[in-house]
Amino acid sequence: MTALPSSSEERKPTEMLTAVRFTVSFGLALVLAVLGLALRNLAIAALSFTPLFYSMTLLLSYLALPHHEIEARRGVDRFRATEGEPIGVRVSLATEKGSYPMVFVHDELPDGLSCASGDVHYQGPLSLSQPRAALQYTLEGRRGVYALGGVHALVWSRFGLALTELTVESPVTLRILPASEKLGVIPIRPRRTRAFAGPIRSNLPGAGIDFFGCRAFAPGDDIRRIHWRAYARTQELVICEYEQERITDVSLILDARSRAHAAIGSHRTFEFAAQATASLASSFCRQGNNVGLLIYGDVLNWVFPGVGRSQIDRIHDALSTARLANKLAFEDLRQIPTRLFLPHSQLVLVSCHLDEADIETLALLKTKGYSILFVSIDTIPLESDQLPSSNDTALAVRIARLRRSLYLQSLERYGVQVIDWNPTAPLAQAIERTRRMHRRMRP
Applying CB under 8 A, the residues found at the interface with other proteins are: 258-259, 261-264, 269, 326, 353, 356, 379-380, 382-384, 387, 391-393, 395-400, 402-403, 405-407, 409-410, 413
Q: Which is nearer to other proteins, 309 or 334 (CB)?
A: 334
State the Cα angle at 250 between 247 and 252, rounded to 5°: 155
In a 10 Å sphere around its CB, with 0-12 CB exposed, 13-18 middle and 19+ buried, how is residue 311 labelled? Answer: buried
Q: Which is nearer to other proteins, 75 or 381 (CB)?
A: 381
Taking the complex as a whole, the smallest distance from the CB of residue 102 to other proteins amounts, in Å, to: 46
Taking the complex as a whole, the smallest distance from the CB of residue 312 to other proteins amounts, in Å, to: 31
Nearest CA to 112 out of 299, 302, 271, 273 is that of 271
Taking the complex as a whole, the smallest distance from the CB of residue 357 to other proteins amounts, in Å, to: 12
* Side chain identity, residue 352: C
Taking the complex as a whole, the smallest distance from the CB of residue 423 to other proteins amounts, in Å, to: 12
Taking the complex as a whole, the smallest distance from the CB of residue 273 to other proteins amounts, in Å, to: 14
Taking the complex as a whole, the smallest distance from the CB of residue 422 to other proteins amounts, in Å, to: 14
Give yes or no for a contact between 258 and 325, defined as CB atoms under 8 angstroms apart.
yes
Q: Which is nearer to other proteins, 242 or 407 (CB)?
A: 407
Taking the complex as a whole, the smallest distance from the CB of residue 437 to other proteins amounts, in Å, to: 17
Nearest CA to 252 out of 370, 415, 81, 355 is that of 370
Q: Which is nearer to other proteins, 335 or 393 (CB)?
A: 393
Q: Which is nearer to other proteins, 128 or 402 (CB)?
A: 402
Say how far apart CA 438 and CA 443 lie, in whole Å: 10
Alpha-carbon distances, residue 219 vs 230, 235, 236 (angstroms): 18, 17, 13
Say how far apart CA 292 and CA 281 lie, in whole Å: 8
Q: Which is nearer to other proteins, 260 or 278 (CB)?
A: 260
* Side chain identity, residue 425: A
Taking the complex as a whole, the smallest distance from the CB of residue 268 to other proteins amounts, in Å, to: 9
Q: Which is nearer to other proteins, 284 or 421 (CB)?
A: 421
Taking the complex as a whole, the smallest distance from the CB of residue 403 to other proteins amounts, in Å, to: 5
Q: Which is nearer to other proteins, 64 or 357 (CB)?
A: 357
DSSP 31-79: HHHHHHHHHT-HHHHHHTHHHHHHHHHHHHHHHTS----EEEEEEES-S
Say how far apart CA 410 and CA 395 lie, in whole Å: 23
Say how far apart CA 404 and CA 398 lie, in whole Å: 10
Give yes or no for a contact between 191 and 343, defined as CB atoms under 8 angstroms apart.
no
Cross-strand bridge partners of residue 268:
263
- 358 contact partners, CB below 8 Å, separation of at least 6: 332, 333, 351
SS3 for 424?
coil
Cross-strand bridge partners of residue 200:
246
CA 340 to chain centre: 24
Say how far apart CA 105 and CA 153 lie, in whole Å: 4
Give yes or no for a contact between 161 and 344, defined as CB atoms under 8 angstroms apart.
no
Taking the complex as a whole, the smallest distance from the CB of residue 318 to other proteins amounts, in Å, to: 23
Q: List, in sequence order, every beta strand (DSSP E) within 307-378.
A: 346-351, 371-377
Taking the complex as a whole, the smallest distance from the CB of residue 428 to other proteins amounts, in Å, to: 25
Give yes or no for a contact between 104 and 85, defined as CB atoms under 8 angstroms apart.
no
Q: Which is nearer to other proteins, 219 or 388 (CB)?
A: 388
Q: Which is nearer to other proteins, 203 or 258 (CB)?
A: 258
Q: Which is nearer to other proteins, 249 or 383 (CB)?
A: 383
